[in-house]
Structure formats: C-alpha cells, structure tokens
C-alpha cells in the first residue's frame, strides 16, 4: 500500500490518503474501513440532464464523492472493494444524503477519515505499508489429473486456476491413452503456470503433490522450458521447489485433527462436544522447511509458526493453551497470556463495543509483555484459527481450572 498522506492524532480524529497497489492492499483496506468512517474517492455516477427537447438524458459523470460508510464488501476474485453509504460532500450532481457505492480498485487513490485512530488501525496501516511483510509465494498443488494454482500474499491467498483432465488407468486396455492424457494434463498446467506465476513478484514457486506427480511435472516443466526457450522458467529454475503433500486439494478432509472440549475434564471418554479442524494441504506447503526458509520473515510464515506452536502446546501441555472468548478473557484477567492469536474477522464485528473489546485486549496483552498476532482470515492459518472460535492463547503458566469454566 502506498501511503500518500497521513493527518491524524493517535486515539483521535484524522485522515489517511492511500493507493492500493496489490490485492493484499485491498484486503488491508477492507479491514481498516469500518461502519461510521467516511471515504473520499473519484467515482462514476449516472446523472440526468435536461435536454433541449424538454426531455431528460442520462449521462455518466466522473466526480468526487465522500460517503459515510454503512457497508463494505471485498470481492477477492475481482480485486475490488465496494463501499456503500450516504454522500456527505456538497455536489451539483448528487444530493447530500443520497446513497452511492464507491468501487475502490487497484491504483485508485482514496482518503479514509476516522473519528478515532486506535492502536489496531495504526498496526494495520503499518503492515499495509511494509513491503517486507509480503509472502508472494506461488503454489501448484497436484495429483494425477487435478491441479490448483494459488498465490499467497501477506494477507490473502487466492486461487488463480483449477486444471482438471480425465486420466485413464495405467493398467489394462486403457494404458495406451494414459501417457497422452498425462502429457495433455501437464501441458495445461504449464500454460496456467506461465499465465499466473510472475517471478518478478513471487519469491518462489512450489510444486506439491503426494507420490511422484510433482517430480514428473517438474521434469516436464524444465524440459519444455529448454525446448521452447521459456526464459522466465530457465532463469528462475532455482526458485522452483518440490514439496510432498497429502493431496492436490487445498483441504484434505481425510487427515484431520480432533479437539475435544469438555465440562470439567479433558478425558475423551467424558467428552461433552467436539469439532474437527481440517488439515490443509496448502498449510503443509507453508510448513515445509525449504519453503519456510524462503518466507521466514513474512507475516504469513509468522502466522503458520505461531499456530503450530499453539497446537503443539494444546497437545503436549493442554493446561498452557486455551481458546474461545471466555477462556481467553479469564486467562488475560490472570495475566497468563504469553501469546494471543486472533483473527481479523473479530475486529469487523458490527457492534462497536465488541470490536473495541478486542482492540483493548490486543493492546493490553502487548502492554503486559505478551505477543499478539492478528491472523488474516484469507490465509489457511486464519481459516484454521476461525474454526477454534477465532481466538486462542498460549499461556505463561498452567491454568488447569479453566476446564471448569463453560465456554
């Protein structure tokens, strides 16, 4: 995010002019803009003019509007932010109080005004303008006949392509068509790779699969790059990494982690209720040591490491890990939180008091010497945390009596 101008007081009013330069920036803007804020931007609106004939003609006019925000929608696939509200800026074409929807796209500047710039919004602003926080990772998840291409940014993971080709069995009468079908599949994946993977942007490209599909495609990719003189691949082949995963899907539902939640006990035989956290093949990629070494200084990698630490603690020393708003609140009252994990989704609560409660919690944990990580709900780690109510904590010391408190 390019910050053009800052003019605000901490915990007071003010404005920031900014320009989103990539999809991650739009997601950051989505988290920054809250109901009640105002946004100023250039927009297009259809207006009616008096014609010479006495009738009225419709005309599209480019103008500058400032609206009081009532709703914000983020379109991940279209890379656009839609902000709906009432106009508050005097204009010859649009009355004050008239509804309008601003569309914020990449490279389109806008001004955000807030009545209060709190610690959370300042942290989001810092992250948005920090180029070092970006992950910029391309991932090709594969299995025979199926491939997905993902782009992992600092806050958003987008699915850029899905390739599916029917592959006949390798044995029996259909074996004659196996090689040609596999070659067609690899060619389709190669074309999608060339279209969506830009090595000027990504730090590395990961080819991941169970079995040997990744190795076969990697050989095909390098062979075709040499044969066709595809310079982008030839010059960056050292940035292409192979990783083992359990499937070619983003989620692998056959491998799951079950977390038991009880009243008064952690003994599974006395279980009161439970739920399942899906294991992500994409998270397996981010967990891989050779990938982690390349993105270790990024926000995405930090989230993956922190969530892994939480699950390890939950498995090995459950009295030093908790999740759910009530348990985390009690742990904080006892000054027990060492690391707070919370999704950005909780800060988009329509209730201002609820949102402020979480802002204060993050600030208080940091003030007491703890760490607080705000997880993007558009990343795999944030999705997993959301399944654990969206808030969790690693504790400084054991709190075994948290079991007795109903969530």
Distant-in-sequence, close-in-space partners of 72: CB < 8 Å, separation ≥ 6? 30, 33, 34, 35, 81, 82, 83, 84
Q: List, for residues 260-306, the tens digit of each pLDDT value.
A: 433 334 443 333 333 333 346 777 888 888 888 777 767 777 888 89
pTM flag (> 0.75): no
Q: List, for residues 88-145, the tens digit of each pLDDT value.
A: 988 888 889 999 999 999 999 999 999 999 888 888 888 778 765 565 789 999 999 9
CA–CA separation, 310 vs 328, rounded Å?
A: 13
Phi, psi of 251 (to 5 degrees): -110, 135
Q: What is the pLDDT of residue 129?
A: 80
Q: What is the pLDDT of residue 306?
A: 93
As given in the structure block, the two tokens for residue 349 are 């609560």
Q: What is the pLDDT of residue 248?
A: 60
With a cut of 70, say whether residue 324 has pLDDT above it.
Answer: yes
Q: Quick check: 41 and 47 in contact, CB under 8 A? A: no
CA–CA separation, 68 vs 8, rounded Å?
A: 18
Across the range 179-185, mean pLDDT stands at: 91
Nearest CA to 41 out of 79, 69, 60, 8 is that of: 69
CA–CA separation, 242 vs 123, rounded Å?
A: 35
Across the range 236-265, mean pLDDT stands at: 62
For residue 13, how many C-alpha atoms fall within 13 Å in the half-sphere facing its CB? 5
Mark out the alpha helices in 93-143 (DSSP H runs).
119-128
Q: Quick check: 40 and 109 in contact, CB under 8 A? A: no
User: Which 3 state secondary structure label does DSSP give 135?
Assistant: coil
Nearest CA to 30 out of 95, 110, 134 is that of: 110
CA–CA separation, 245 vs 10, rounded Å?
A: 46
Per-residue DSSP letter, 117: B
Q: How far is CA 385 from the centre of its chain?
A: 12
Q: List, for residues 29-82, the tens digit of each pLDDT value.
A: 998 999 999 999 999 887 776 666 666 677 788 889 999 999 999 887 778 999
**Which position has the higher pLDDT, 250 or 198?**
198
Q: What is the pLDDT of residue 258?
A: 40
For residue 115, how many C-alpha atoms fall within 13 Å in the half-sphere facing its CB? 7
Question: Residues 216, 148, 279, CA angle at the centre, nearest 5°?
Answer: 100
Nearest CA to 56 out of 47, 67, 68 is that of: 47
CA–CA separation, 40 vs 53, rounded Å?
A: 36
With a cut of 90, say whether residue 328 has pLDDT above it.
Answer: yes
CA distances from 316 to 310, 321, 385 (A): 10, 10, 18
CA–CA separation, 187 vs 224, rounded Å?
A: 9
As given in the structure block, the two tokens for residue 400 are 């075994």
> Are β-strands 371-375 and 337-343 bridged in parallel, bridged antiparallel, or unpaired?
parallel
CA–CA separation, 216 vs 274, rounded Å?
A: 41
Phi, psi of 65 (to 5 degrees): -125, 150
């Amino acid at each position: 995010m390019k910050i053009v101008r800052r003019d605000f007081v901490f915990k007071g009013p003010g404005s920031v002019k900014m320009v989103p330069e990539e999809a991650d920036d739009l997601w950051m803007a989505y988290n920054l803009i809250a109901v009640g804020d105002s946004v100023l931007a250039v927009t297009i609106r259809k207006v009616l003019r008096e014609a010479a004939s006495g009738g009225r003609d419709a005309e599209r006019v480019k103008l500058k509007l400032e609206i009081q925000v009532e709703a914000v929608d983020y379109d991940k696939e279209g890379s656009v932010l839609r902000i709906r509200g009432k106009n508050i800026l005097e204009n010859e074409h649009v009355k004050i109080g008239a509804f309008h929807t601003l569309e914020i796209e990449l490279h389109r500047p806008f001004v955000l005004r807030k009545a209060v710039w709190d610690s959370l919004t300042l942290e989001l602003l810092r992250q948005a303008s920090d180029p070092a926080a970006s992950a910029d990772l391309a991932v090709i998840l594969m299995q025979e006949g199926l491939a997905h291409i993902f782009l992992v940014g600092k806050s958003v993971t987008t699915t850029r392509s899905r390739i599916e080709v029917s592959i006949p069995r390798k044995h029996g009468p259909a074996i004659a068509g196996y090689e040609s079908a596999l070659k067609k599949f690899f060619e389709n994946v190669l074309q999608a790779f060339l279209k969506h993977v830009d090595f000027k942007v990504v730090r590395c490209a990961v080819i991941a699969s169970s079995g040997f599909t990744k190795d076969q495609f990697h050989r095909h990719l390098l062979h075709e790059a040499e044969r066709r003189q595809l310079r982008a691949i030839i010059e960056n082949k050292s940035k292409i990494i192979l990783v083992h995963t359990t499937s070619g899907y983003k989620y692998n539902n056959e491998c799951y982690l079950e977390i038991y939640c009880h009243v008064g006990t952690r003994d599974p035989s006395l279980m009161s209720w439970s739920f399942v956290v899906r294991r992500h093949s994409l998270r397996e990629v981010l967990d891989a040591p050779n990938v982690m070494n390349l993105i270790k200084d990024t926000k995405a990698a930090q989230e993956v490491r922190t969530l892994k630490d939480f699950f390890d603690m939950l498995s090995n020393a459950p009295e030093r890990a908790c999740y759910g708003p009530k348990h985390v609140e009690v742990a904080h009252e006892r000054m027990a939180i060492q690391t707070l994990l919370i999704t950005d989704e909780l800060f988009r609560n329509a209730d201002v008091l609820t949102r402020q409660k979480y802002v204060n919690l993050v600030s208080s944990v940091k003030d007491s010497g703890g760490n607080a990580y705000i997880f993007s709900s558009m990343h795999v780690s944030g999705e997993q945390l959301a399944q654990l109510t969206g808030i969790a904590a690693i504790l400084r010391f054991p709190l075994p009596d948290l079991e007795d408190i109903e969530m």
